[in-house]
Amino acid sequence: MRLIALVLIVIGLLPLPMAWAQDNLAVDLPVEIRQWFRNPDGSCVQCSIGMCGVDQNVPAAATLLWDTEYGSRERGGSGPSRVADYCNRRGIRAWNVVGDDTFEWMKWACATGRGAAIGAGANHFQTLVGYDPTSGRWYVCNNNSPERIDSYDEAHFRRLHLSSGPWVVILDYPPHPARPEYRPWWR
Amino acid sequence: MRMLTACVLSLLVLPSLVSAQATPEVDQAEVRRLGNLVHQMGVGPQSDGVATFLEAMGPPASDADKWFISLMSTRGCVPCLQLKQAFGTDPWLKALADPNDPKKSWSHFNVYDAQDRSQAFRFEKLKIEAYPTILVQPPRSKKYGEPTTVVFQGTYGGDPKQLATDITTAVRRYLAKLSEARSDAPAVAERGVGAEPPWQPAPKIDPVLPVLPSPFTPPVDVVQIPPPLPVTPPPAPTPAPQPVTPAPAPTPEPQPQPHYRPSVRLEAVVVTDADMASDVATETRIREVIQSLRNQRGQHLKVRRVDWQDASTRYPLQRDELPVVLVTNNGRIEDKISAGLLPFVAPTTPTPPATPTEPPGSSVPTLATTGFGASAIAALAILGLTLWRTRRQQTGQPTLLNEAAFQQLLQSLQRLEERKTSPPPPPPATTT
Dihedral of the CA atoms B80, B104, A175, A181 (nearest 10)? -60
Contacts of A186 in chain B (CB under 8 A): 173-174, 177, 225-227, 259
Residue among A185, A186, A187 with most chain B CBs within 10 A, to mutate = A185
pLDDT at B255: 43
Of B36, B62, B118, which is closest to A33 when you measure between CB atoms?
B118
Instruction: Please judge whether A177 and B110 are an interchain contact, meaning their C-beta atoms are less than 8 angstroms apart.
Output: yes
CA distance B93 to chain A (A): 17
Q: Does the pLDDT of residue A135 top 70, yes or no? A: yes
Each residue of A60-90: pLDDT tens digit? Answer: 999 999 999 999 999 999 999 999 999 999 9
CB-based contact B217:B294 (threshold 8 Å): no
Of B47, B56, B150, which is closest to A180 when you measure between CB atoms?
B150
Element (H, E) at A168: strand A167-171
pLDDT at B352: 41
Residue among A37, A95, A107 with most chain B CBs within 10 A, to mutate = A95
Contacts of A123 in chain B (CB under 8 A): 24-26, 28
Amino acid identity for residue B294 in this structure: R
B432: Cβ–Cβ under 8 A, 6 or more apart, which residues?
Answer: B321, B336, B337, B338, B340, B341
Instruction: Please judge whether A96 and B199 are an interchain contact, meaning their C-beta atoms are less than 8 angstroms apart.
Output: no
Comparing alpha-carbon positions, the chain A residue that sits nearest to B45 is A88
B316: Cβ–Cβ under 8 A, 6 or more apart, which residues?
Answer: none
Instruction: Please judge whether B201 and A105 are an interchain contact, meaning their C-beta atoms are less than 8 angstroms apart.
Output: no
Kindly list the distances between the CA atom of residue A61 and the CA atoms of A28, A56, A58, B227, in Å, as whole numbers in the listed order: 17, 9, 6, 38
Contacts of A175 in chain B (CB under 8 A): 108, 140
CB-based contact B33:B73 (threshold 8 Å): no
pLDDT at B20: 43
pLDDT at B21: 45
pLDDT at B235: 56
CA distance B136 to chain A (A): 9
Residue B118, judged by CB atoms within 10 A of its CB (0-12, 13-18, 19+), counts as buried
pLDDT at B297: 77
Instruction: Please judge whether A180 and B122 are an interchain contact, meaning their C-beta atoms are less than 8 angstroms apart.
Output: yes
pTM over 0.90: no
Q: In whole angstroms, give the CA distance from residue B414 to residue B378.
A: 7
Each residue of B298-307: pLDDT tens digit? Answer: 777 777 888 8
Contacts of B25 in chain A (CB under 8 A): 42-45, 77-78, 123-125
Chain-centre distance of CA B95, in angstroms?
Answer: 24
Low-confidence ranges of chain B (pLDDT < 50): 9, 11-21, 45-47, 49-51, 186-191, 209-217, 240-264, 346-366, 369-370, 421-432
Instruction: Please judge whether B26 and A123 are an interchain contact, meaning their C-beta atoms are less than 8 angstroms apart.
Output: yes
Comparing alpha-carbon positions, the chain A residue that sits nearest to B193 is A40
Of B70, B198, B199, which is closest to A177 when you measure between CB atoms?
B70
Instruction: Please judge whether A186 and B227 are an interchain contact, meaning their C-beta atoms are less than 8 angstroms apart.
Output: yes
B370: Cβ–Cβ under 8 A, 6 or more apart, which residues?
Answer: B351, B376, B420, B421, B425
Comparing alpha-carbon positions, the chain B residue that sits nearest to A46 is B25
Of B39, B60, B68, which is closest to A80 when you measure between CB atoms?
B39
Each residue of A174-183: pLDDT tens digit? Answer: 999 999 999 9
From B174, B138, B125, select the one nearest A187 (Cα to Cα): B174
Each residue of A140-183: pLDDT tens digit? Answer: 999 999 999 999 999 999 999 999 999 999 999 999 999 999 99
- ω into residue B147 within 30 of 0, thus cis? no
Q: In whole angstroms, give the CA distance from residue B27 to residue B23.
A: 8
CA distance A2 to chain B (A): 32
pLDDT at B190: 46
Interface contacts (A, B; CB < 8 Å): 256
Comparing alpha-carbon positions, the chain B residue that sits nearest to A187 is B177
Instruction: Please judge whether A100 and B56 are an interchain contact, meaning their C-beta atoms are less than 8 angstroms apart.
Output: yes
Contacts of B152 in chain A (CB under 8 A): none
* Residue B71, φ and ψ in degrees, nearest 5: -110, 120
pLDDT at B428: 43
Instruction: Please judge whether A45 and B26 are an interchain contact, meaning their C-beta atoms are less than 8 angstroms apart.
Output: yes
Instruction: Please judge whether B204 and A33 are an interchain contact, meaning their C-beta atoms are less than 8 angstroms apart.
Output: no
Residue among B26, B96, B206 with most chain A CBs within 10 A, to mutate = B26
Contacts of B64 in chain A (CB under 8 A): 111-113
Element (H, E) at A53: helix A44-55
Comparing alpha-carbon positions, the chain A residue that sits nearest to B152 is A182
